[in-house]
Amino acid sequence: MEYEFLRDLAGGVTVSMSMGHEAAAHWFNEEVQGDLAVLDEVEAAVAAVKGSERQWQRVGHEYTLWLDEEEVIIRANQLSFTGDEMEEGMSYYDEESLCFCGVEDFLAVAAAYRAFLQGR
């Protein structure tokens, strides 16, 4: 998973990620927005589910993050089609709205994000 952090003129941080992981970048940009308490909450949840069959989720304004012992899933909240909402033969492009990654990879990005924010 490749990523890049950019600081804008106002001091805000924007995350961009490689194809297939765009939803994770959007999660950092929309749900974290520099609030390290959000990362603290997710890291505590990772520790809480480790060694168990439990799952944890954090529903945000735009994106929901699910995790278990091995995997993190980030999905746009708007990505919930039910039944026959789309015409037959049509498909929904969700590459930028859904992301799967390993817990260790996600924690590595979170640690790099934290370090970037703190100027390390």
Q: Is residue 84 part of a domain?
A: no
Residue 86: is its pLDDT beyond 80?
no
pLDDT at site 90: 45
Single out the residue of 24, 9, 14 nearest to residue 117, CA to CA. Answer: 14
pLDDT at site 5: 97
Q: How many domains does the chain have?
A: 1
Q: Is residue 86 part of a domain?
A: no
Q: Which of the 8 DSSP states describes residue 47?
A: H
The stretch 3-13 carries a mean pLDDT of: 92
Q: Is residue 30 part of a domain?
A: yes
Entry pTM: 0.85
Q: Is residue 48 part of a domain?
A: yes
Domain range spanning residue 57? 3-79+95-117
Residue 114: is its pLDDT beyond 80?
yes
* pLDDT > 90 in the chain, percent: 78
Count of Cβ atoms closer than 10 Å to residue 117 Cβ: 17
For 26-80, what is each residue's pLDDT tens digit? Answer: 999 999 999 999 999 999 999 999 999 999 999 999 999 999 999 999 999 987 5
Query: Which of 17-21's residues contact partners 24+ apart within 8 Å by CB, and which partners?
Result: 17/109, 19/95, 20/95, 20/99, 21/99, 21/101
In the block, residue with structure tokens 């804008």: 8
pLDDT at site 89: 54
Q: Are 66 and 80 in contact (CB under 8 A)?
A: no
Q: Is residue 51 part of a domain?
A: yes
